[in-house]
Amino acid sequence: MGRLIGRSIRRLIGDEEIDRVLSREDEILPSSGFAVSVMDAVRREAAAPPPIPFPWKRALPGLVVAGFALALVLIAIVVAIARRASTTPQFSMTLPSVMPPIFHGGIESAAIWTALALLVAFVSVKFSMRLASGRG
Amino acid sequence: MQPRVTAPCLTIEAGSRVSARDDQTDVERVLAGDISAFEGIVRRWQGPLINLAYRFCHDRGRAEELAQEAFLRAYRALGQWRKDAVFSTWLFALATNLYRSELRRIPARTASVSLDDIAEPADARASDGGLEDHDRDLAVRRAVGALPAKYREALMLFYFHDMDVTTAARSLGLPEGTLKARLFRGREILRSKLPQRLAVPRLKEA
């Protein structure tokens, strides 16, 4: 009991000391030109043109195309995985019959994908050139 | 310019009572397009904001840079101040947040000391029943500087705001209970690292 009281007293004294030391900190005064310097920065900030908002309207077609391309890639990955699984004996899936013809392997499929990629690239380039020339 | 020893928190407390209405008026004028009204805010709060930054970095030049950035951010975000808290509380919270993130990004250049490196003297009661005040204060401040950031910041803000838990908690964006727990733990660590210095009653003051 005595030890507990002793510890409490020690803690109180410790807190008192910490309070005393840390309440008394050095204070610095601002430089004479500080407020002027801040106001200069504020005026520069106010004079600067407002930030250009992101051109969502112009970017929408590109985003739609990108989303479509991403969806195609995901479908292709899923089909590839399904096809690989169907080659193993325990998963004899017949996915190819329900998928569009472009997903049937071979040269035809590769050609279609290549053509599609070229088309997307062409549209992207044309679109970005239109934007850059300010005719969008 | 040499630092002078005063109690900045008293200035803040008095200032916050006096200037709450001025702050609100100036904010309304700035939001209405009168940029020059922001100067009133800068002049009222430059001292406290610089001193708060100084406690974080202990570098006068950097403290002014940080305070300037805090004022700029306050200017940009002035419209976001909801008047449910006084302007100064909002300003201190914004500044504290900035100072903490900036100090995490570029730590203060003061030599960092490990808590284990802060050794007790062989005989802490060597002269007139205790160490000299200066040594004791220095040891406590060094120990606070070596605390983990969350305890150090809790202690720093608590004493900066004149031991006002509510304001310190708001500045740090913490619940009061969390702040109290951090203060308790921070003091516990200090006591464990500086047992003789902090537990000896100073007879000469009695």
User: B73 and B158: one domain?
Assistant: no
The residue whose two tokens read 């990108």 is A66
Measure in Å the smallest separation between the Cα of B141 and chain A Cα atoms: 7
pLDDT, mean of residues B123-151: 72
pLDDT, mean of residues A123-133: 83
Last residue of a domain, one of B77, B105, B133: B105
With 50 as the cut, is the pLDDT of residue B193 above it? yes
- The tens digit of pLDDT for each residue in B59-97 reads 899 999 999 999 999 999 999 998 888 899 999 999 999
Note whether residue B52 is domain-resident.
yes
With 80 as the cut, is the pLDDT of residue A88 above it? no
User: B31 and B92: one domain?
Assistant: yes
Q: What per-residue confidence (pLDDT) applies to B77?
A: 92
- The tens digit of pLDDT for each residue in B3-52 reads 443 444 444 555 555 578 889 999 999 999 999 999 999 999 999 999 99
CA-closest candidate to residue A65, choices A133, A109, A128, A107:
A128
Distance CA(B201)–CA(B98), nearest Å, equals 39
If you measure CA to CA, which chain B residue comes closest to A11? B199
Higher pLDDT, B108 or A77: A77
Higher pLDDT, B4 or A19: A19
Note whether residue B60 is domain-resident.
yes
pLDDT grade for B205, boundaries at 50, 70 and 90:
very low
Among candidates A10, A29, A43 on the partner chain, residue whose Cβ is nearest the Cβ of B47: A29
Interchain CB contact of A43 with B (< 8 Å) = yes
User: B77 and B35: one domain?
Assistant: yes
- What ipTM goes with this model? 0.73
Q: What is the mean pLDDT of chain B?
A: 80
Which 3 state secondary structure label does DSSP give B68?
A: helix
User: B73 and B99: one domain?
Assistant: yes
Q: What per-residue confidence (pLDDT) applies to B112?
A: 55
How far, in Å, are B52, B135, B139, B175 from residue B159 at the CA level?
11, 20, 17, 17
User: B123 and B94: one domain?
Assistant: no
Higher pLDDT, B68 or A91: B68
Last residue of a domain, one of B105, B124, B147: B105
Chain B positions in Cβ-Cβ contact with residue A40 (cut-off 8 Å): none
Interchain CB contact of A12 with B (< 8 Å) = no
Distance CA(A77)–CA(A70), nearest Å, equals 11
Q: What per-residue confidence (pLDDT) applies to B2?
A: 42
Answer whether B199 sits within 8 Å of A27, measured CB to CB.
no
User: B91 and B148: one domain?
Assistant: no
pLDDT grade for B125, boundaries at 50, 70 and 90:
very low
User: B71 and B121: one domain?
Assistant: no
Q: What is the mean pLDDT of chain A?
A: 76
Distance CA(B63)–CA(B57), nearest Å, equals 7
Note whether residue B77 is domain-resident.
yes
Answer whether B199 sits within 8 Å of A13, measured CB to CB.
yes
Note whether residue B203 is domain-resident.
no
Domain holding B137, by residue range, is: 115-197
With 60 as the cut, is the pLDDT of residue A46 above it? yes
Note whether residue B31 is domain-resident.
yes
Note whether residue B36 is domain-resident.
yes
In sequence order, what are the beta bridge partners of B4? A27
Q: What per-residue confidence (pLDDT) applies to B84?
A: 80
Note whether residue B110 is domain-resident.
no
Note whether residue B184 is domain-resident.
yes
User: B98 and B134: one domain?
Assistant: no
Task: Assign residue B41 the CATH number of its domain.
Answer: 1.10.1740.10
User: B124 and B165: one domain?
Assistant: yes
If you measure CA to CA, which chain B residue comes closest to A37? B68
Among candidates A13, A18, A43 on the partner chain, residue whose Cβ is nearest the Cβ of B35: A43
pLDDT, mean of residues A83-96: 62
Distance CA(A102)–CA(A67), nearest Å, equals 19
With 70 as the cut, is the pLDDT of residue B153 above it? yes
Answer whether A39 sits within 8 Å of B39, measured CB to CB.
yes
Q: What per-residue confidence (pLDDT) applies to A23?
A: 80
Among candidates B4, B46, B72 on the partner chain, residue whose Cβ is nearest the Cβ of A34: B46
Token duo for residue A22? 């840390």
The answer to whether residues B196 and B143 touch, using CB atoms and an 8 Å cutoff, is no
Mutate to test the interface with B, among A12, A34, A37, A45 (most CBs of B within 10 A): A34
Answer whether A19 sits within 8 Å of B50, measured CB to CB.
no
Measured at the alpha carbon of residue A45, what is the angle toward residues A28 and B36, in degrees to the nearest 5?
70
Distance CA(B113)–CA(B119), nearest Å, equals 11
pLDDT, mean of residues B125-140: 64
Q: What per-residue confidence (pLDDT) applies to B195?
A: 64
Q: What per-residue confidence (pLDDT) applies to A134?
A: 63
Answer whether B201 sits within 8 Å of A13, measured CB to CB.
yes
Total structural domains within chain B: 2
Measure in Å the smallest separation between the Cα of B105 and chain A Cα atoms: 23
User: B33 and B52: one domain?
Assistant: yes
Measure in Å the smallest separation between the Cα of B104 and chain A Cα atoms: 23
Answer whether B159 sits within 8 Å of A15, measured CB to CB.
no
- % of chain A surpassing 70 pLDDT: 71
- H or E stretch covering B28: helix B8-31
Task: Assign residue B144 the CATH number of its domain.
Answer: 1.10.10.10
Measured in Å, how far apart are chain B's first and last C-alpha atoms? 35
User: B100 and B147: one domain?
Assistant: no
Higher pLDDT, B123 or B177: B177
Last residue of a domain, one of B57, B78, B105: B105
Answer whether A23 sits within 8 Å of B191, measured CB to CB.
no
CA-closest candidate to residue B156, choices A37, A25, A77:
A25
Rg (CA), chain A: 35
User: B167 and B88: one domain?
Assistant: no
How much helix, strand and coil, in percent to the nearest 5, is found in chain A? 75, 0, 25
